[in-house]
Amino acid sequence: MSDRPLRSTIRSLAFGLAVALVALAAGSATAAGETLAIRGRIIHTMAGDPIPDGVVVVTDGRIVAVGPAATVAVPADARVLEAAVVTPGLIDAHCVVGLSGYLNQDQDQDQLDASEPVQPELRAFDAYNSRERLVEWVRGFGVTTLHTGHAPGTLVSGQTMVVKTAATAGVLKPTAMVAVTLGDAGRAQGEKKAPGTRAKSVAMLRTELAKGVEYRRKQADPDPEKRPAPDLRLEALARIVAGEWPLLVTADRATDIEAALRVAEEFGIRIVLDSAAESHLLVDRIRAAGVPVILHPTMKRAGSGETENASFETAATLRKAGIPVALQSGYESYVPKTRVVLFEAGVASANGLTIPEALATITIDAARILGVADRIGSLEPGKDADLALFDGDPFEYTTHCTGVVIDGAVVADQPR
């Protein structure tokens, strides 16, 4: 289905439906074990073509059936929800929500510890607050999963995690990646602090990875007496060089992206490029390395410094080249501390991506990059019942998210 007819269909439906078609009882809770039938005038499964007049049946928190309403039987005891458009729950591929809070005060800002340049042992899992109001806020816009954790700002700032946005946090990955920053943001401020230059940053990173290689070698010694004592920092580095955890490398300049790719090749480790404002200048290099990109938010303050070459069309450029791309809300140290990935995908859809491609960057493609596509990212039988319901085209500014389902439970039912 082409973009133009799809948009026309959705707009006409939305006009006729006025504000919303979501039949949710205001304020009523829905247990995860309840049977739901979610009907949509358009259902984007992200596992095939959109389904007009479709239905998704949910039982015990899992999707059990998806298809046209004419062919999918709705159980007699099912609670029926209706919407103009239904999509998989949205995935924010990189943020600090839950570590940073909406107050923007010291007591709710746990996303960055700048006391040392290298701290891979810091776990997002230990700092995440599932009841933070910022989590509730993004959930209301259809975001059901976050890849959140330690922010860019030091050379190695800590671990990230993948978690559902329900108040009772469903952790998909306690540790997903380890955050690294190359470039200005990762350089220490002040005299005689390291790293002070790009060369020092890369040298320090290589030194730490070499320590991980050596620690792993010693831990494998058949003589227990010769094995080193447990060390949380070295344990984390060992898991990186063993390929268990990828590095999430925040790098905007082409020179920093190239440095990250060289380090990955030298140590045979996995990396995911983050922000990557100048990634469109290195398409062939990134594609050859087989590295995915979690692209900078379009609303990131650009036009100068390391993001002066950022482009709204980068997502389309990378995807056209066959590079896996996801979008993020990102992080900057000012209120409101986060954006909404739905908006980011909407901008991408106006700058080279088709509607299905843009939606994929915040659903199935994001799930694949994060390694959780077996559970979320598309509406298919057997997958977690995470859904977002809208009263029109999700990428239209005037559209509202009118319902959110996580693991089969209705967690939001107020138009946002």
CB count in 10 Å sphere of residue 228? 12
- Helices within 150-305 (DSSP H only): 198-219, 232-241, 254-267, 283-289
pTM: 0.91
Let me know: does 158 contact 122? Beta carbons within 8 Å.
yes
More reliable by pLDDT, 145 or 186: 145
Residues 6+ apart with CB under 8 A from 73: 57, 65
Domains present along the chain, CATH in parentheses:
3-88+379-412 (2.30.40.10), 90-370 (3.20.20.140)
> Can you tell me whether residue 34 is helix, strand or coil?
coil
Q: What is the pLDDT of residue 305?
A: 84
Average pLDDT over residues 34-48: 97
Q: What is the pLDDT of residue 12?
A: 43
pLDDT digits (tens, 9 = 90+) for 272-307: 999 999 999 999 999 999 999 999 887 775 556 888
Q: What is the pLDDT of residue 304?
A: 67
Q: In whole angstroms, give the CA distance from residue 34 to residue 171.
A: 21
pLDDT digits (tens, 9 = 90+) for 96-130: 999 998 887 888 889 999 999 999 999 999 999 99
| Tokens describing residue 126 | 């230990």
User: Whole-number mean pLDDT of the chain?
Assistant: 90
pLDDT digits (tens, 9 = 90+) for 129-154: 999 999 999 999 999 999 999 999 99
CB count in 10 Å sphere of residue 146? 32
pLDDT digits (tens, 9 = 90+) for 188-203: 766 668 899 999 999 9
Length of the chain: 416
Average pLDDT over residues 75-93: 97
Strand order in the sheet with 79-88: 62-68, 51-59, 36-43, 79-88, 387-390, 401-406, 409-412
pLDDT tier, 13 (very low <50, low <70, confident <90, very high otherwise)? very low
Q: What is the pLDDT of residue 69?
A: 97
Q: In whole angstroms, give the CA distance from residue 358 to residue 363.
A: 9
Q: What is the pLDDT of residue 168?
A: 84
Across 15-24, 131-140, 173-182, 187-196, which has the greatest mean pLDDT? 173-182
Q: Rounded to the nearest 5°, which phi and psi values hold at 236? A: -65, -45
CB count in 10 Å sphere of residue 339? 21
Q: What is the percentage of the chain residues whose pLDDT exceeds 70?
A: 88
pLDDT digits (tens, 9 = 90+) for 202-241: 999 999 999 999 999 999 999 999 999 999 999 999 999 9
- Residue among 375, 353, 350, 354 at smallest CA distance from 364: 375
Average pLDDT over residues 235-256: 98
Residues 6+ apart with CB under 8 A from 103: none
